[in-house]
Structure 1
Amino acid sequence: MPESKKRKKPAAARPEARPGAVKPSPSWWAPTMVVLMVLGLVGVVLTYLTQGNLPVPGLGNWNLAIGFGVMLVGFFMTLRWR
């Protein structure tokens, strides 16, 4: 039995990228991620060195929680980095 000819789709109808393709991260993603991790680390170190008086006076040991929270946001950003 003869095989039928395969038709080519017009160029305009072809999708440029696959629908499930992963898009790369924006150019600001990696620097923001690194800055957040470093700022969190600096906040934690300052809290330990100044016994809770810095980076925000009056918060005490909550400065540790803020520093770890900022670092955590930076680390979670690494999960979405492409």
Structure 2
Amino acid sequence: MPESRMRKQAADKKKSASAEAASEARKERQRRVAAPGSRRWVPPAFITVGLLGVLWLVVYYIAGHLIPVMSDLGGWNVLIGMGCMAAAFALATLWK
């Protein structure tokens, strides 16, 4: 049985509507992926700050008396190292 023109027009209209919806969904996905507030910087930042704190403490305990700046700081070196590690944990809370 041959299809009527109205059926064909309705089918074409439905196809174009679904194509429009698909393109809108695609655009929405692209907007979400390229969001300006992405936090891809957080993992490298908290790893770097944490390792800097650990390295500061290791250097202080091994060769702190040989480095003039560290020997002048004295016990504050522990606070600097622990502060860097605490800052790393604070940065880790920003990771999504």
TM-score between the two structures when normalised by the length of structure 1: 0.61
- Number of residue pairs matched? 64
Structure 1 residues 34, 53: CA separation in 2 closer, same or farther (over 3 Å shift)? same
Question: Residue in 1 aligned with 2:56?
Answer: 43
Q: Give how far 1:30 is off.
A: 0.9
Which structure 1 residue ranges, 5 or more long, are not aligned?
1-10, 17-22
Question: CA shift at 1:76, angstroms?
Answer: 1.3
SS at match of 1:56: helix
Q: Which amino acid aligns with 1:40?
A: G
Q: After the TM superposition, which residues 60-75 of structure 1 pair with which residues of structure 2 at under 5 Å, given as runs? A: 60-75=74-89
Percent identical pairs in the alignment equals 34
> Where does 1:1-16 land on structure 2 (aligned, <5 Å)?
none
Q: Which has the larger radius of gyration?
A: 2
Write the distance in 2 (CA, Å) between the matches of 1:55 and 1:32: 28
Unaligned runs of 5+ in 2: 1-20, 22-27, 29-34
- Structure number having the greater helix percentage: 2
